[in-house]
Structure 1
Amino acid sequence: MSYQGQSSALPSQALRVIVLEDDPLLRERILLPGLADHGFRVTGSATATELYRNMLAQRFDIAVLDIGVPDEDGLTVARHLRSMSNIGIVMLSASQARADRIQAMTDGADMFLSKPIDMEVLAASLHSLVRRMQSAATWQGAPKSPERVPVPSRGWHLETDGWCLLSPRGAVIALSVPERCIMQQLIARQGTPVSRSALIAALSQDVYEFDPHRLEMLVYRLRRKAGEQSGETLPLLTARGSGYVFAKGALDVELAS
């Protein structure tokens, strides 16, 4: 099953994720909609056979694999995928056993996450994995030189078509559909206030049905999430009497195309 969540207009270059999970409730109610709401084009598979069939039909950037599936365990699937491609591989397991983690990494997994799954952590992990994969590909394709040119530090900015927010120290915060919308509106204004009514209009097609308190809660949660996941303060400020502003001078803009 493919899932696109709240956004019916995901960009064509959105990261494509295939999920192998035999628990239908976890797969259909949590993983697929959760990843779709963070901007991924996601397809679910209940068995290894279904996963292989889906992978023959289309290309995927990342495979999220549960270790315990009925027809072929996730470790075997990871080993098979790694033998024939450079796809990103993330293993999920309720097991806390150190041996399982070691075996997963030995079999080609890039990451190992424990259940129960925190969707914010999973989404941020997928964005981080893709950024590392892209960085590695860039360095491998670049001509060799005796010295690596230092990369200048950057302020808060958006990447992966606006679906992840990076802090000045490099922490990755995965954004949901409304969080992405808010950040794009604020960054586009480059330090000038954006009214609450403008943000609500961007968030909803029916501004009269949108509860203004929901906007306040979204901003509050976004500030808290960014602080908890980065250890840094997101410069999203309240402009008294007008709306919100992303503090000028504290950002480096990289708008989504």
Structure 2
Amino acid sequence: MTTSTHLAVLDDEADITQLLASYLAGHGFRVSQVHSGVALMELMSRDTPTLVLLDLGLPGEDGFAIARQLREHWRCGLVIVTGRGDAVDKVVGLEVGADDYVTKPFDLRELVARIKAVLRRVAPSEPAVAPATAEPTSLLRFAEWQLDTAARRLLNPSGQEVALTAGEFDLLSTLVTHPGRVLSRDFLLGQTRGRDGGPFDRTIDVQIGRLRRKIEADPDTPQIIKSVRGAGYILIPKVEAA
């Protein structure tokens, strides 16, 4: 991460965006403040940020619809920052592709830590000296799918890239690098989000559901990622270096 990392803060209250912009600027971020979904989409087209902080409670607008639009058209980090702390809203937020969900009021230091955690997954730092070729194991094949762990890309059996959120990629990567092993939700949560689940522990289940809709022929009868009742999840196909 560099001082040029661009964040967008969308909230209808100007005092909140100003507070966040000032604090985040003090941590080396370049911050754009927007106060409507229309303004955010214009910014995305003109100067796409690496990560968006999105408030759901926008007068006359559907914050979840904005999140879906971001996921459909741009590859950026997405952290929902909102006063809506209901568990259902959290589940929906993760369903539409948010990388994290922070409820107001929040500690600014914790928010920065969460932003940095998402950025490490969305835009990992480049090595000081890039290798001449990718590591042989960076491209892994399973059930005719290919996961490029170096480029953070998933290719379907036809060779077309399938868009994944940062959280989805990290979850799939963890499963693919531990094939044939039952991985608990706590383990998966720690590997993908770097923190304990706490009282809200449906994150992994939500992301597994999204992954199944993207990679399973029949998400209701999964053959790639299976559930093990009371234990967690397991990747069934054999994994080999491509």
What is the TM-score normalised by the length of structure 1?
0.48
1:144 to 128, 137, 141: 137
What pairs up with 1:21-36 in 2 under 5 angstroms?
21-28=11-18, 30-36=19-25
Structure 1 residue 95 corresponds to structure 2 residue 95:
no
Q: Number of paired residues?
A: 136
- Is the contact between residue 76 and residue 122 of structure 2 (CA under 8 Å) also seen in structure 1? no
- Counterpart amino acid of residue 84 in structure 2: S
1:35 and 1:15 mapped to 2: Cα distance? 11
Deviation at residue 145 of structure 1 after TM alignment: 6.1
Cα deviation code 1:175-204 (max 9, x no counterpart): xxxxxxxxxxxxxxxxxxxxxxxxxxxxxx
Structure 1 residue 116 corresponds to structure 2 residue 105:
yes
Name the % identity: 29
- Counterpart amino acid of residue 111 in structure 2: L
Structure 1 residue 128 corresponds to structure 2 residue 117:
yes
RMSD, aligned CA: 2.9
- Is the contact between residue 63 and residue 88 of structure 1 (CA under 8 Å) also seen in structure 2? yes
Structure with bigger gyration radius: 1
Deviation at residue 72 of structure 1 after TM alignment: 2.2
In structure 2, stretches of 5+ residues that fail to align are: 128-133, 141-193, 196-242
Deviation at residue 73 of structure 1 after TM alignment: 2.2
Please name the residue that 1:106 is paired with. 95
1:85 and 1:96 mapped to 2: Cα distance? 26
Cα deviation code 1:15-62 (max 9, x no counterpart): 10001100121112x111111111110001011111111222212100
- Is the contact between residue 74 and residue 91 of structure 1 (CA under 8 Å) also seen in structure 2? no
Please name the residue that 1:20 is paired with. 10
Q: Secondary structure in 2 aligned to 1:121?
A: helix
Structure 1 residues 99 and 43, CA gap change in structure 2 (3 angstroms): same
Structure 1 residues 146 and 117, CA gap change in structure 2 (3 angstroms): closer
Please name the residue that 1:230 is paired with. none
Structure 1 residue 56 corresponds to structure 2 residue 49:
no
What pairs up with 1:101-250 in 2 under 5 angstroms?
101-135=90-124, 143-144=136-137
Structure 1 residues 43 and 142, CA gap change in structure 2 (3 angstroms): farther
Please name the residue that 1:83 is paired with. 72
- Is the contact between residue 47 and residue 71 of structure 1 (CA under 8 Å) also seen in structure 2? no
2:11 and 2:92 mapped to 1: Cα distance? 19
Structure 1 residues 137 and 48, CA gap change in structure 2 (3 angstroms): farther
Structure 1 residue 72 corresponds to structure 2 residue 72:
no
